[in-house]
Amino acid sequence: MARKAQKAFSMSKYLKKYSWHIAFYIFVFALSTVVDVFIPILTANAVEDVTLKRYNGAIYNFLFVLGLSVMQYLLMSLLNFLYNRYGMRMIGDMSLDCVAQTFKINSRSYSSHNSGAFMERVARDPERVVGELSSFVNMISSIVSTFVIVIYVFILNYIIGLCVVGTILIALIVDTIRLKKFDKNLKSTNTAREEFVSIVNETIKSEKDIKTSGLEDKLKKVVDERTKKNMKEHYNLYNTNQVLRTVRSALQEVMIFATLILGIVLMEKGLVTIAIFMVIYSYRGSIKSFSSFIGFLSESMSTIKNSLGRIRELFEDDEFEMEKFGNVHLENVAGKIEFKNVAFKYKEYEFKKDKKGKKVAKTLKSETPVLENVNFVIEPNTTVAFVGKSGSGKSTILSLISKMLEADGGEVLIDGVDIKKLDKDTLRRSISLVNQFPYIFDMSIKENLLLAKEDATDEEIERAIKDSYLNEFIDTLPNGINTVVGESGVKLSGGQRQRLAIARALLRQTSIIIFDESTSSLDNFAQEHIKKCIDNLKGKSTIVIVAHRLSTIRNVDNIFFLEDGKIVDEGSFNELFRKNKEFKNMFTVENLQEELDA
């Protein structure tokens, strides 16, 4: 059975969903445009009636103008209501789909892009697209209304009509040059903003580390550099844009006043009435804005195209590579894990792009071997650990088991099936990961737990809390389990965050539970709690641990000792302590350090 093709992003999906609302928005705007056209005409007629002493006609015309003006305010209020209600819904739908898509992107892509690349595409680009679509409709309506005005001026006097057309053509030439420069600078501006958003996000999240490590000045310098780059790119984009807009507006202003002077000359010769002159005078702003509308229209199209292109990159498996799954479904996973001649390398690629910015070639820049010819078997419901120096490949093995990464060679098997052939449901339902810094959401403790299993009963939640040794801590809180823990669990200690993450894993009741350096940053008291949590799980699931502190894995069934990406020894804690000198030295140094710390 073939894998399902990656579903591409399509704007038509959202346009179709809100088609009636969009159609109504366009209708209301068209009606508003018609009102805009008639107000100056009726005003000019009223002025002419006053000049010719037709006072009743003047009063009626002014009353019509008043009625149309009130109607215009009501129509604009309705337009704002429609945009705020349904435009924001469309933005929300697009952002939600983008968030869902980011879950499908593989870990390599996350590690090769900064957070700003995702945040801008998820949060800002949908807003840009919908906002510019609204502007697009506005510009189209304005262009149509101004075109009607130009025709009307032609009918009134073809000489003045030719002057108006000349004004528009000159402005369009300048705008064509402006838009080419705008489109060229927009991409580099977006990239600079991504880098700026990323460093600001990292700075806010790492506030404590920055303060306690005395990094304020250094980080301030980095932020300053990113800020200046962002400002420079924005300056290049908008300054160039504004200079050419100013040139265009100045030329238009000269042409408009020349047209008005011509109108006065023609009025003196009796070829133009005061009413015609008033119409030209009243419409001078619309005539001046005609080329601006076309320029803004092209600018909106460029922004929409750029933002949609950036969003599509999330869906196209090119800039951001997708996770790939097979079609084999296992209803009940026992939890047996096997590596057969597994190899893995971290690779860095260079990409060539075409003129549109799309990747057309991919070449390998460098590669770093991490694992080589790794073989082992973990039986179901056993507890094993991987130990070794930093860089020996421990965490990479865990990432391969959870399919956060894919092996470059050999096979990773779950219950005898190649992990590449297993479907997403089997893998996600069967494996839980508790890492060194688990992410705790800005919700209550209970809501964080329900993320793992939304239909969990109170009894299941209570059991998970007890087995993870969270109950004593929760009992001290005024709001108990309903206490909100803050963004990233900032109101919790490191050990409490770890135990909450373990409680989430317990609620899921997966066949395989992975602990990646879960006690490395904890004090001895918190470490002992985590050790008890893990001991409670023995025999219930397959437990795989990467341990920084060897004292936490004394009771595991088997330990794999790694050096330079290879398993060089294995056995129980006592066996390795007796026969492996390097392992014994690591344990001795650890205990000596703990005594010194004490």
359, part of any domain: no
pLDDT reported for residue 413: 94
Mean pLDDT throughout 349-355?
Answer: 64
The pLDDT score that the predictor gives to residue 341 is 93
- Region 340-369: mean pLDDT is 72
As a whole number, mean pLDDT of residues 587-598 equals: 53
Task: Count the neighbouring beta carbons within 10 Å of the beta carbon of residue 292.
Answer: 19
Q: Is the pLDDT at 342 greater than 80, yes or no? A: yes
Number of domains in the chain: 2
* pLDDT score recorded for residue 419: 93
Q: How confident is the model over 313-333, as a mean pLDDT?
A: 85
Please report which confidence band the pLDDT of residue 437 belongs to, taking 50, 70 and 90 as the band edges: confident
One domain, residues 379 and 231: no
- Whether 529 is covered by a domain: the verdict is yes
SS3 (DSSP) at 356: coil
309 and 374 inside one domain: no
Residue 276 and residue 290: Cα distance in Å, rounded? Answer: 20
> Which among 38, 128, 35 has a CA at the least distance from the CA of 78?
35
CATH of the domain at 471: 3.40.50.300
Does 67 share its domain with 199? Answer: yes
C-alpha 232/C-alpha 242 separation (Å) is: 15
**Range with the lowest mean pLDDT among 126-130, 289-293, 485-489?**
289-293
Q: Tell whether the model's pLDDT for residue 6 goes beyond 70.
A: no
Same-domain pairing of 296 and 402:
no
Q: What is the CATH number for 43?
A: 1.20.1560.10
Q: Domain check: are 476 and 593 in the same one?
A: yes
The pLDDT value given to residue 205 = 65
| DSSP secondary structure code for residue 401 in this structure | H
What is the helix (H) or strand (E) element at residue 331, kind and residue range?
Answer: none
Range of the domain at 179: 12-313
pLDDT the model gives residue 590? 58
Same domain, 38 and 108: yes
Structural domain includes residue 21: yes
Do 583 and 439 share a structural domain? yes
Token output for 379: 């039986």
Q: Are 64 and 42 in contact (CB under 8 A)?
A: yes
- Phi/psi of residue 514, nearest 5 degrees: -110, 130
Q: Predicted confidence band at 527 (pLDDT cuts at 50, 70, 90)?
A: low
Select from 313, 333, 360 the last residue of a domain: 313
All residues at 6 or more sequence positions from 403 whose CB lies less than 8 Å from its CB, including other chains: 323, 412, 419, 427
Q: Which of 76-80, 138-142, 423-427, 560-564 has the lowest mean pLDDT?
A: 138-142
pLDDT of residue 389: 83
Provide the angle, in degrees to the nearest 10, between the axes of the packed helices 274-282 and 125-156. 170
**201 pLDDT tier (thresholds 50, 70, 90):** confident
Is residue 523's pLDDT more than 70?
no
Confidence of residue 405 (pLDDT cuts 50, 70, 90): confident
pLDDT, mean over the chain: 79
Alpha-carbon gap, residue 234 to 191, rounded angstroms: 11
Q: What is the DSSP string of 415-484?
A: TTEEGGGB-HHHHHHHEEEE-SS----SSBHHHHHHTT-TT--HHHHHHHHHHTT-HHHHHTSTTGGG-B
- Sorted by sequence, the CB contacts under 8 Å of residue 469 that are 6+ apart come out as 499, 529, 532, 533
Same-domain status, 175 and 271? yes
Residue 123: per-residue pLDDT: 82
Lowest mean pLDDT among 95-99, 173-177, 210-214: 210-214
Q: Which residue has the higher pLDDT, 551 or 384?
A: 384
DSSP 3: P
pLDDT at position 145 over 80: no
User: Do 309 and 429 reside in the same domain of the chain?
Assistant: no
Q: Which of 265, 288, 313 is the last residue before a domain boundary?
A: 313
Note the pLDDT tens digit of each residue in 445-475: 888 888 888 888 888 888 888 887 788 888 8
Bridge partners (DSSP) of residue 571 are 559
Residue 199 pLDDT greater than 60, yes or no = yes
How far apart (Å, rounded) are the C-alpha atoms in residues 137 and 177?
A: 23
Of 59-63, 385-389, 586-590, which range is least confident? 586-590
Residues 209 and 287 in one domain: yes
